[in-house]
Amino acid sequence: MRLRNIFNITSFTKFLLSIPIILLVLYFLPVLGVIMLIARYFVYGSRHYYRAPIVLLIVSLILLIPHGLELAMANFGFELTIPYFREFIGLGIYPSITEYAERIFIIGIVILIVSAIIKTLGEKITAKLSSKLSGALSNYFNQKEQTRREEIKLRTTEAEERIENSKKNIEHVVKCPHCGKVNTVTGTTGKCKSCRNAIQYKEK
C-alpha cells in the first residue's frame, strides 16, 4: 500500500515536471518554470539531461517562424501570400507569443550549456571520486586483512606460549635413568633427588 503511494507520488511529480507542463508554466510564470526545469534533473536523473532544453529550443524556433518571416519580408521587400498570415501576426496574443518564444530560447540555451558543464564536471568528479574511493577501500581492506592476520598470529603465539607455560607447570613423574628413583618434576626437566643427575621428562 505504502509502496503504491510512493509510486503514485513519483509519477505525479514526473507528470508535473513533464515538458508540456513546464512549457505551459514558462508562459505564465517564467521563474517557476525555470525552478521546475532544475527540479527535473533531480526527479528524472542524468538520463534526461538534454531533452528539456532541446525541446525548448525546437518549440521556440517553431513559434518564431511567423515573426522571422515577417522580419524577412520587411527587410528584403517580398510578400508571401500565406492565408491568414497577416491576421495571425496582427493578433493581440502574437507579441506575447514572440516574447515567450524568445524567453524559452534563452532559457533553453542557458540550460543546455549548464547541463553540458554539469554533466562533464559530474562525470570527471565521479570518475575521480570512484578511483579514489576504490583505492581507499582496497587500502582499508588490505589493512584490515593484515591486522586480522597479525591478530591471528598473535593469538596463535599466545596460545602456544600458554601451552608451553602450562607444560612447564605440569608435574611429571620421571624415573631416573641413572639410579632408578621415581622423581616428581615440575615441567620437563629437573634433577634427581637421589643422585643429583639431570633428568628429563619425555612426551610419549
Residues that bind Zn ion (CB under 5 A): 176, 178-179, 181, 192, 194-195
Closer residue to Zn ion in complex, CB, 23/179: 179
Residue type, 194: S
The string over 163-192, giving b where at least 16 C-beta atoms fall within 10 Å of a residue's C-beta and e elsewhere, is: eeeeeeeeebebebeeeeeebebeebebeb
Closer residue to Zn ion in complex, CB, 131/186: 186
Shortest reach from residue 191's CB to Zn ion, in Å: 9
Shortest reach from residue 194's CB to Zn ion, in Å: 5
C-alpha cell of residue 16? 508535473
Closer residue to Zn ion in complex, CB, 127/198: 198
Shortest reach from residue 144's CB to Zn ion, in Å: 56
Shortest reach from residue 203's CB to Zn ion, in Å: 20
3-state secondary structure of 204: coil
Closer residue to Zn ion in complex, CB, 154/195: 195
Cα dihedral angle (60, 66, 68, 74), rounded to 10 degrees?
-160
C-alpha cell of residue 76? 528584403
Work out the number of other CB atoms within 10 angstroms of the CB of residue 100. 20
